[in-house]
Chains A and B, each alone.
Chain A
Amino acid sequence: MSEREVLELLRENARYSTADIARMTDLEEDEVEAAIEELEATGVVCGYQAVVDWDKLEDERVRAEVELNVRLDRETGYDDISQRLARFPQVKALRLVSGDYDFDMEVEGDSIREVSQFISEKVAPVPEITQTVTHYVMTSYKENGIELGDGEDDERLSFSP
Chain B
Amino acid sequence: MTFELSDRVQTVPPSGIRRFFEIAEERDDVISLGVGEPDFATPWAARDAAITSLEQGKTSYTANRGRRDLREAIADYVADRFDLGYDPDEEIIVTAGASEAVDLAFRAFVDPGDTVAIAQPSYISYEPGVIFAGGEVLPVSTDEEDDFRLTVEGLEEAGADEADMLVLCYPNNPTGAIMPAEDLEPIAEFAREHDLMVLSDEIYAELTYDGEHTSIATFEGMRERTIVFNGFSKAHAMTGLRLGYALGPADAIAAMNKIHQYTMLSAPTTAQYAALEALDSCESDVREMVSQYDRRRQFVLSRFREIGMDVFEAKGAFYCFPEVPEGFTAEEFAEEVLREQGVAVVPGDVFGAGGDGHLRISYATGLEDLREALARIEAFVDDHA
With A23-B303, A26-B298 as known contacts, state yes or no: A159 contacts B39, CB within 8 Å. no
A159 touches B371 (CB 8 A): no
Known: A13-B367, A20-B299, A25-B295. 18 other contacts (CB 8 A): A26-B298, A26-B302, A157-B21, A157-B35, A158-B24, A158-B32, A158-B344, A159-B17, A159-B20, A159-B24, A159-B344, A159-B346, A160-B35, A160-B37, A161-B15, A161-B17, A161-B124, A161-B125
CA distance A26 to B295 in the complex (A): 9
Shortest Cβ gap from A94 to chain B (Å): 30
Shortest Cβ gap from A3 to chain B (Å): 16
Shortest Cβ gap from A17 to chain B (Å): 9
Which applies to chain B's interface (DSSP): helix, strand, loop or mixed?
mixed
Shortest Cβ gap from B315 to chain A (Å): 13
CA distance A133 to B15 in the complex (A): 65
CA distance A22 to B306 in the complex (A): 13
With A20-B371, A23-B303, A154-B39 as known contacts, state yes or no: A159 contacts B298, CB within 8 Å. no
Q: For A156, what are the chain B residues with a Cβ–Cβ distance below 8 Å?
A: 32, 35, 37, 39
State how many residues of chain B have any CB contact under 8 Å with chain A. Answer: 27
Chain A residue with the shortest CB-CB distance to B294: A24
CA distance A22 to B298 in the complex (A): 9
B36 CB-CB contact with A under 8 Å: yes
**Chain A window 71-96, contacts with chain B (Cβ cutoff 8 Å), 1 for yes, 0 for no:** 00000000000000000000000000
Q: For B88, what are the chain A residues with a Cβ–Cβ distance below 8 Å?
A: none
A10 CB-CB contact with B under 8 Å: no
Q: For A13, what are the chain B residues with a Cβ–Cβ distance below 8 Å?
A: 367
CA distance A20 to B367 in the complex (A): 10
A123 CB-CB contact with B under 8 Å: no
The 9 closest A-B pairs by CB, nearest first: A23-B302, A24-B295, A158-B32, A159-B34, A160-B36, A23-B299, A159-B17, A161-B124, A24-B299
Q: For B173, what are the chain A residues with a Cβ–Cβ distance below 8 Å?
A: 161
Shortest Cβ gap from A146 to chain B (Å): 13
Choose one: A24, A25, A158; the contact of B30 (CB below 8 Å): A158
CA distance A25 to B371 in the complex (A): 15
A66 CB-CB contact with B under 8 Å: no
B296 CB-CB contact with A under 8 Å: yes
B298 touches A23 (CB 8 A): yes
